[in-house]
Structure 1
């Protein structure tokens, strides 16, 4: 369903494009979110993307604030495909795909300044990132960290999450620490869809689907834990949960095939914290010390360290403003 994208500029036109070109619903939602981000530029220039001039195309790409070449390259590819579709359908009045005129070097220059200032990810960047990740379990690992699933030590909430702790009808997760403490969080539809796919995954595709040889697609362990390792045939007397080193190893692989050299579990988790701060400030006009403390309490973290979050958020805002 694409009911959340009725706010798109020329929504009927763009919804038709998404439905015709992207049969996968999760992909449609992710790319629809990108087009929705561009709506403010279309409203400002009072024209559809397919009629943007070169300078307007550059301004809108900068305005997306993509901090890596990979994310901006993906955005440009989607926009170019949309405009080509518009030209074929007779929607473009100029017949020129201005976004296509920017080459790889141009894109690298656009992201360079922002990349130097911003090291955190937005929600949409996270979902754009996982589109190109093959294994649903790997997608889930990144999404869960951004949604705030971690715990205090050794990724305990991540590693303890079971399929039976995922409540699809209510979009909620029951999280458990090693000491037995529990909490319930709500996540969005796209996250639930990724978790459902991870629950159903039976084989792991090494090398993000590019592995070769007889061990390229090992069977995953049959366990109720969502994050699980490959079955090595020695499941007796071992912890069925994914090991901590395995999580770090996965992220080393993610850095390789996403092209994001600074991608790591802590950064993804902190990005989710910053989103919570931003939501509070946008809704109330400011953010107080008690808000930071409450975020930590909600995340099952020690609220005595709330000032660390305040410092991180203020630096984050300062860096964005200086770009």
Structure 2
């Protein structure tokens, strides 16, 4: 079910749902409403509110979400449980059916065919299979925290923005605002190789011998930026456009290349957030504090919001996928080892 469709869906018993949602920070409202959008169809079909659902009816709602991770399922279950607890006085039997479940019950609702997150080892393997440093550096930078609107921080990166001794890079977004992040040695190496690369291997070096133009490479144009365009009839004099970044990731993930579904800018960045959470867990022995989330927000350039006159990171949405469950799902017993 698409976001557009969800936004057009009328909540069942809307006034009551909105009363419940209003108890939470405004930044969380859409997260809660989304669950109620999914439950609306079942509520209308049965003619009762979600607070009156039995376990089988709740299961129908959870299956309809098509969650790709256990963390997403647990988040949805938590919201439904909280709603039923809040409205328990309206329920016919005063019993919350979700009080009897365990983690194994929740696993059935995970769509295991829909992989959206990648471990550090998986990212490293994809990078190792990328014939172009120009492609590999995009993956590494996204995983390390670079982004910005329309991936402006990648597109604006210049060789002089890289400090190899300090192991850091200065990122510039679409508004010219700058921030500095630390990066790993591998990323620095890929940046250096991307700067040096003069010819770009088409289709990751897998040009069909039957292709009309069988030349394996295209000449790259020096523009003063780390990520460079290939020479075409159109003359490029500045940084690459957003579509080139997307096209290169699409080329890597194409089923005829490495065949990696859902290998997108957002999913690579989110995977990087989970990896950073794992590192924080290994460092601190726990991962639960707001300050720990703020470290991730700072590294990945998460937007800030005004919270009663106090500027803070909009960190609540990332809790849906940056949490202990997702760390365990991707890294298992590797944490705290």
SS in 2 for 1:185: strand
Contact 2:117 2:267 in 1 (8 A): yes
1:9-88 correspondence runs (5 A) = none
Q: Return structure 1 stretches of 4+ with deviation > 6 angstroms.
A: none
Higher helix share: 1
Secondary structure of the 2:137 match is: helix
Q: TM-score, normalising length from structure 2?
A: 0.56
Aligned alpha-carbon RMSD (Å)? 2.7
Distance 1:320 1:171 in 2: 26
Alpha-carbon offset, residue 299 of structure 1: 2.7
Flag the 1:321–1:154 CA change in 2: closer, same or farther, 3 A. Answer: closer
Q: Is the 8 A contact 1:164 1:224 kept in 2?
A: no
Give how far 1:157 is off. Answer: 0.3
1:204 partner SS: strand
Q: Is the 8 A contact 1:228 1:242 kept in 2?
A: yes
Residue 307 of structure 1 is matched in structure 2 by 316
Larger Rg: 2
For 2:115 and 2:214, the matched residues in 1 are separated by: 41
* Change beyond 3 A, Cα 1:199–1:286: same
Deviations 1:20-50 (A, max 9, x none): xxxxxxxxxxxxxxxxxxxxxxxxxxxxxxx
Structure 1 unaligned runs (5+)? Answer: 1-112
- 1:150 is aligned to 2:147: yes
CA 1:320–1:161 in 2, change beyond 3 Å: closer, same or farther? closer
Matches within 5 A, 1:1-323: 116=113, 119-151=116-148, 153-211=149-207, 213=213, 216-235=216-235, 240-256=238-254, 257-284=257-284, 285-304=286-305, 305-314=314-323, 316-317=326-327, 319=329
Q: Structure 1 165/299 Cα, relative in aligned 2: closer, same or farther at 3 Å?
A: same
- Relative distance call for 1:297 and 1:320 in structure 2 (3 A) is closer
Do 1:228 and 1:240's aligned partners in 2 also have CA atoms closer than 8 Å?
no
Contact 2:277 2:287 in 1 (8 A): no
| Kept after mapping to 1: 8 A contact 2:200/2:230 | yes
1:76 counterpart residue number: none
Q: Distance in 1 between matches of 2:185 and 2:166?
A: 10
- Structure 1 contact 277–287 (Cα < 8 Å) conserved: no
8 Å CA contact retained: 2:115, 2:262: no
Question: Residues 247 and 293 of structure 1: is their aligned pair in 2 closer, same or farther, counting only changes over 3 Å?
Answer: same
What 5-or-longer segments of structure 2 have no aligned partner?
1-109, 306-313
User: Deviation of residue 262 (structure 1)?
Assistant: 2.2
Q: 1:134/1:311 Cα in 2 relative to 1: closer, same or farther (>3 Å)?
A: same
